[in-house]
Every structure is written in C-alpha cells, then in structure tokens.
Structure 1
Amino acid sequence: RLHLREKGKESGQGRRGGGRGMVYEQIHTARFGAADKETPPLEFVRPLSELCLRAAALHFRSRPTFAGVPEKYKERLAALIPTDLPLNVSAPLIDMEQYWKRCATDLFQNCLPADHGHSWKQLFFEKTLEEALENFDGSDSAKASLHKLLATCADFVYKLRIRQFASHADIGFIFEALPNLYSLSITFGSRSVGMKYERSIFGMKLFDSECLSQQLPRSETLTTLILQENILDDEKMRRLVVGLRDNVTITSLDLSHNRISDRGTRALCKCLGKESVVSSLNLCDNQIHSEGGKFLGRALQSNTCLLDVNIRLNRLGEKGGCYVFEGLKSNVGLNRINISGNGLGDGSGQGEAVRVFAAMLRVNTHLRSVDLSSNSLGAEGGVVLRDSLEENVHVTQLDVRVNKIAPEVLA
C-alpha cells in the first residue's frame, strides 16, 4: 500500500496530487477532443433563454407571434426565424431590418436600400413585386398569385421600376392596390427575347396609353412618372395628355427616348400652363423639330412651376432654338435647361439662335445652368456668349463643349 501511494505521488496521479488523473484526461479527450489552450472552454449548456428562442423560431411557421417575448430578445428571435416563411405571415409581424436584409440578400443581387427609402423591408417588397410584374403573363393563375402578392405588400411599396411589362394588361390594378405609390417607372415590352424577337412586342400600345391615362387623375400619391423607351408617339401622347391634364400630383415627368414629334409636343404643352405642377420635364432623345420648339417656347413664357427642362438630342435647329430662347425671356421660374445636340448654329457664328440666347441672358435673372454642348455655335458665337455672360451674374454653369469654339475665346 505504501509502495502504491509513493508511486501515485511520483506520477502525479494521487488523489491529493496536482493533476486530474490520466483516466479523466483520456475520457475528456475522447468526448471533446484535445484541449486548445488558446480558445476558451466550451459552453456545455446553453442558457434557457437561447433554447426558448430557438424553439420559438423553429415553430414560428405554425405559431407566428412575438407575444410574450421580452423586448431585448426580439432581435435575436428575428435572427433565428427562417427566411422562407409565407409573406402573408412575415409581412405584418416582422419589422426588424436584419430579418428583411437576410431575405433580400438571399434572393437579389446589388441591393441598395438607399434607393428604397433606406429600408430593407421596403427594398424586399418592392423588388419582389417588380419581379412578379415583369414576369406576369396574364394567365388566370398568374393573376390570382399577383393579386395575393399585391394585397400582402400594399403597405410597404412606395416606388416601382418595371423594366419590362410584356402582358400589356390594364395597369389600373397597380394603382388601386398600392395606396402609397409615389414613383412609377414602366417600360412596356420584353427584354432578352433572343430568337423570339418580334417588333410588335416592344413599346406602349394605344390600349396601354388609354389605361394609364384613365388612372392618372385618380392617383393621389404619384409624384414621379417615368415612361422611358416606350416607342411613345404623337397619337399615344395625345391620349396620355388627357389624363395628365387632370392630374395634380405629378411633379417629375420623364418621356425620354421615345418618338414624340411636334404634334405630341403641342399636346403636352397644353398640360404646362399656369396651373401645371410639373417641375421637372425630360424630353431627351425624341423627334421634336422647330414647330415643337415653338410650342415649348410659348409654354415657357407663362409657366412658373418648371425648374428643370431637358430637351437634348432633338432636332430643334436654328428656328426651334430661337423659339425656346424667346420664351425664356419672360420666364421667371426655370433654373436649368439642357438643349445640347439640337443643331443650333451653322458653325460660322452667324446663326440667329446664339444671338437670341445672348439677348435672353441679359434679361433673365432666374436661369442658373445651361447646356449648349454638341451644337455648332462657332467661334463668333463664342464671342457673343462671352459678351453676354459679362452682363449676367446669375448663370453659374454653362456647357459649350463641342461647338467649334476655341478655348481662348472663353478664357
């Protein structure tokens, strides 16, 4: 017995020795692996609160509620809830942004909440609805599914950017189902059609313009309407104007990259009178000629609400430019105008448009930014501009690049 006790002391395995014993170490290694001195010991038992939260998250689909969960644990519970819950369950109950961030990043790429009110929940529902509308084929089953989705996300959608709407269905249901919609960008047609290309599937049809026109007077929240790349011509523009004329909420109107010509411009200008609330108008890349410039000039004479007008890449020419600049002489509201790429001037500097523009600068005290780039004002036209700017202290930005003006003229 004495011999065994001494042997235990020597090996450090005695009951009162400093070690835990070889058997204990072997059992511990077999159960938990070799100990790592650099890492803290494992937590053998999770807190009861964590176990409860995991159980609540596991059964959230069958019992969706936060009732009884202390406030300090709700964020943790939301982090454990699976992201594949039915939207009609998760939408009204979960407001935690981290949950909707997980939902959004699981489904979509390039998520920018800054474009969606700095809200992940708003981003998720807006992109989900956009995807559903872009893939909508007009079938009965698709209609039922879409109406169900609209009912679920109605309170969380404020802005829509529909890059393709191939079904050409009556879009009235969008306005009726979304009471908070303030910005709508829609392009009719299909994308990435490949070998299935047909000219008829692209652009807005007369039916589409009539349906949209009927909804515009009824809208009480829409402030931004973007109809880019819709092959919108004069006839469709005339039908759309019927609704625009009675709308009192739209302040930003984008009709760029279409086929609006002089007749369509004339119809549009009827909406730009003294009672108009449109402050930003984009007619870039259309087919507006000098006659359309005459109507724009007349509208600018009396309009006091427009702040920004973009008519670049049209075909105003010398006469059309003169009409626009004459209208600006008596305009008291416009701050910015872009009239680049409109064929102003003949390259010699003897054109009439640049002289009318110079005369306008001497009397207009409200204009702050003008883009005259990509025209043909010529060297003498540059001298005329320089002289007029010496008498105007209000214009802070003037772009005259690609106008055949020598740099030293404006130095």
Structure 2
Amino acid sequence: MSESNLIKTHSRFYLSVNPAADGRKMRSIIAEDPEWSLAEVPALTKLCLQCIVKNFTEKPILDELKPSHKSYVLERLSPSLPLTVTANLISDESYWRRCTEARWGPSDVTAYGNSWKRMFFERHLEGIIELFIPDVTDTRTVLELVPLCRNYVKRLKISQLLPPIKEPPRFDEDDESDCVSDAGSDGPSVDHFDFQILLDKLGNLEELHLVYGVKGCGMNFEWNLFEFTFRDCECLAKALKSCKTLQVFSVHRSKVDDDKCCILASHLLDHPSLLELDLSHNHIGDRGAKAISKLLNQSKLKKLNLYNNRIRGPGAQALAQALSRNTTLTSLVLRLNRIGDEGGQALGQALMKNKTLVNLHLGANKMTEPSAMALSRALVDNSTLKILNLSNNKLGADGGKVLEEGISHNCSLVECDLRLTDVDQESELYITQTLRTNQSLTGRKPHHSPNDEV
C-alpha cells in the first residue's frame, strides 16, 4: 500500500472513532481481518491473573497476591479443584459456599457455625464413611483426607454404616469337604467402618452421631444390615476413649443391648470432656442401666437420653441412686421404658436430694398413683426441676390430686405434661394455673422439644 493510501486509511479510522473531528457524517470502516475488534486490549495484570486461575492446580498462587487480585482469582476458581490444593490454602467462605452448593445444592449453613468450609468437609467426610465397605474400600480414602479436614470437622452425623459384602460359599467339585472348612475360616477383618483409624486424628471433633444400619435397602432387606456386633462395639469404645475432645455422643437405632452398653460405658468412665450421651431407640435393659449409673457417678455428663429402651424397675433404681449423688446432670430422658412404680418411686426419692436436674421425662413408663405420690413429695422440697413429663402413665384421679398438692408448694416447676394420665380436669386446671404463676415469676416461657410427643 502506498504512503498516501495508508494515510487515507488511518484518517478514515480516526474519523470513525472520533466523529467529532470532522463535521461531516462518516461511515465506519470494515476491517479486512475478521477477528479485529475495537475492544480494549486487557491489561497485563489481568492477563497474569487469568493465567494464575487457569494453572492453579499445577501452581497455586494466592497469598502472595494483593487483596483485590486475590478476590479476582477466588471468584473464578473452579469448585472442582483437588482438595489437596484448596483445603489448607483457601479460607474464603464464598469459595467454599460455591463448592458446597455445587455438590449438594442450596444448603443451610447455620447448623455449622455459619462456616461453609466446615460444612463442606463435614459432609464430605460423612459421605465417605457412609459409603465405606469393609475389605472393599481402601482405608487410604479416609486417611488421606484427614490432613485436609481435621482442622474443620467438629461434628459427624453418620446416618448409615455398611456391612461387608456377603459372598456365598464356594464349593470345589473335587474336594467339597475341604472347601467348606476353608470358607468357614475366612471372614471380614471388620464388621463395619473401624472408627479407631479416625477419631484420635480429629483434634477438633466435638460431636459424633452414629446409626449402625443401611438406608434405603428396599427389597434387599436382611437383618445383618442392621447389626451392631461385639467387634464393632469394642472398636468403637476404644475409639471413643481416644477422642479426648468429644462432648456429644449418640448411637441410636443400632440394637445396643446390655452387654454392648456395658462395654461402651466402661470405656467412657474417665472421659475428660463428654457432656451428652444419647443411647435412645436401643435394647438396653437393667444391666445396661446399672452400667450407665456407674458412668453417672464418675463422669461430667449433663444430658442423658435413654428414650425407648427396655429398662425396668431395678435399672431405674440404679439410675436413681446415682442421681441422688450426681452434681452435673441437668436432663434425663427415660421415656418409653418400663420402670413402673418401682422405678418411679425411686426417682421421686432421688429428686429430694438432687440439686441439678432441670428436665425429667418419664412418659409412657407404666407408672401409677404410687409414683405420683413420690414425685409430689419431691416437688415440695425440690427447687431445681423445671420440666417434668409424666404423659401416658395411668396416674388416675387420685394421682392427680397428690400431684396438685405437691405442685402447690413448688415455685420452680414451669412445665408438667399430664396428657393421657387419667388425671381429672379440676386437678389439671389447678396445676396449669400454678405453672403459669411460676412462669411469670421466673420469666420462663414453656418449651416444647421434638421428644415431647406422647
């Protein structure tokens, strides 16, 4: 192109970009290069940041950046980056929120201390444990995650634990007898996930909730899918003892019987931090209750939940004896057991000595008028108990009268559930009015928990 034509081309370009430079109406030029654009060339800084984002897995650069540049990179990082890269490098909550919602959809973070990073790692570790198959899943899938998540995991809620895959016995046509004996000698190394490999490594773990069962087994139902074995129990008990930071422990709907309860209780006797124990929906009887009573004497438990077990009078008497000396327990739930008047009277006598219990749930325990009399006498002297649930016990009209008398001398009780107790309406009305007076004096409103249903 000649110099004159080049000048003309530049002048047309200048006038198309700067129409104010000439009063005449000008047409925009058409570039010969189809990829040519009037878009502004990105700054070198931006190009460098884009390169950092693109190559973050191979060369993660973050802390060295200025705050504004760091924000730019974090907003553009993929939520699917390897955890080995991001876990201990990225603390930005917005990034972990994107990771969480990309995997599980919109989520409520309030139950995780409003920490998206904690929520992500707790749910991630829970998922690995819930899908762990003994002798099939490599334990390294759990152990390799520990250095990445141990600073952020405070609670684990395991809703299922899978048993080993049950293989049918194989028979050799040449020597059937030998093969049968060999097959009988082989077996899984563990019955469920062994928490001994994990709990002592989670230095911030405060809560552990377990169910030894399988969700959604459907037509593949077998009883062995819901079996908490002795080997499981021994492994779990040792793991609990090694987890010095644990404050809340529950294993429910897992067929924990007296023998297994004794094993768990013996390993928790000197636990330095355990405050809440939930063994609800199991098969615990009197021997198990006696083992727990020893735990009450030596531990710092504040809450004990034995809802829906098989505890009868002797077991309740052992718990009552421990309760009369205990100075830490604030809540005891014995709903849906079989303590009867033998246990009800013992607990009433314990309340005359106990000075710390605030909540006592004795619903559906086959108690009658003698239990009401013992509890009534206790309420005359007890100034600590605030919530008493006696629902679904056959206390009768006379039982209601004696409770009415005891509550009339009490200023601390603010709730007393008497549904389905055959207490007459006059007594129930008087008790309700007295409780309202106590509520106004203490400024406490009635509290209804999910376990309050009859």
Give the TM-score of the pair, scaled to structure 1. Answer: 0.87
* Pairing 1:25-44 to 2, within 5 Å after superposition: 44=40
Aligned to 2:359: 336
Aligned to 2:166: none
Shift of 1:186: 1.2
* Pairing 1:293-312 to 2, within 5 Å after superposition: 293-312=316-335
SS of 1:72's partner is helix
Deviates more, 1:177-186 or 1:49-58: 49-58
| Distance in 2 of aligned mates of 1:400 and 1:135 | 44
- Equivalent residue for 1:201, pick from 209, 217, 225: 225
Supply the AA of the counterpart residue of 1:294.
Q
Inter-CA distance 169–16: structure 2 relative to 1 (3 Å threshold):
closer
- Equivalent residue for 2:342, pick from 285, 297, 319: 319
Supply the AA of the counterpart residue of 1:403.
T
| Distance in 2 of aligned mates of 1:178 and 1:261 | 33
Inter-CA distance 401–58: structure 2 relative to 1 (3 Å threshold):
same
| Distance in 2 of aligned mates of 1:49 and 1:344 | 78
Deviates more, 1:169-178 or 1:332-341: 169-178
* Pairing 1:178-197 to 2, within 5 Å after superposition: 178-197=202-221
Aligned to 2:111: 115
1:287 aligns with 2:310: yes
- Equivalent residue for 1:24, pick from 24, 28, 32: 28
Supply the AA of the counterpart residue of 1:405.
V
Instruction: Quote the RMSD (CA, aligned, Å).
Output: 2.4
SS of 2:198's partner is helix
1:270 aligns with 2:274: no
Deviates more, 1:250-259 or 1:364-373: 364-373
Aligned to 2:244: 220
Shift of 1:16: 4.2
Do the aligned residues in 2 keep the contact of 1:162 with 1:186 (CA within 8 Å)? yes
* Pairing 1:12-411 to 2, within 5 Å after superposition: 16-17=22-23, 19=25, 21=26, 23-24=27-28, 44-46=40-42, 48-109=44-105, 111-139=107-135, 142-167=138-163, 168-273=192-297, 275-345=298-368, 351-411=369-429
Shift of 1:140: 5.8
| Distance in 1 of aligned mates of 2:253 and 2:123 | 21
Shift of 1:15: 8.1
| Distance in 2 of aligned mates of 1:399 and 1:46 | 71
Supply the AA of the counterpart residue of 2:391.
S
SS of 1:287's partner is coil
| Distance in 2 of aligned mates of 1:68 and 1:329 | 65
Supply the AA of the counterpart residue of 2:303.
S
Supply the AA of the counterpart residue of 1:295.
A
| Distance in 1 of aligned mates of 2:282 and 2:51 | 57
Supply the AA of the counterpart residue of 2:379.
L
| Distance in 1 of aligned mates of 2:48 and 2:424 | 77
Supply the AA of the counterpart residue of 1:120.
W
| Distance in 1 of aligned mates of 2:20 and 2:384 | 97
Do the aligned residues in 2 keep the contact of 1:276 with 1:303 (CA within 8 Å)? no
Inter-CA distance 398–46: structure 2 relative to 1 (3 Å threshold):
farther
SS of 1:215's partner is helix
Shift of 1:383: 2.3
Shift of 1:320: 1.6
Q: CA deviation digits over 1:164-183, x for unaligned, max 9?
A: 11241321011132121111
How many residues of Structure 1 are paired with residues of Structure 2 in the alignment? 381
| Distance in 2 of aligned mates of 1:364 and 1:25 | 95
In percent, how many aligned pairs have the same letter? 31
Shift of 1:335: 1.0
Q: CA deviation digits over 1:154-196, x for unaligned, max 9?
A: 2221110111112413210111321211111111121111222
Q: Which runs of 5+ in 1 are unaligned?
A: 1-12, 33-41, 346-350
SS of 1:24's partner is coil
Do the aligned residues in 1 keep the contact of 2:143 with 2:198 (CA within 8 Å)? no
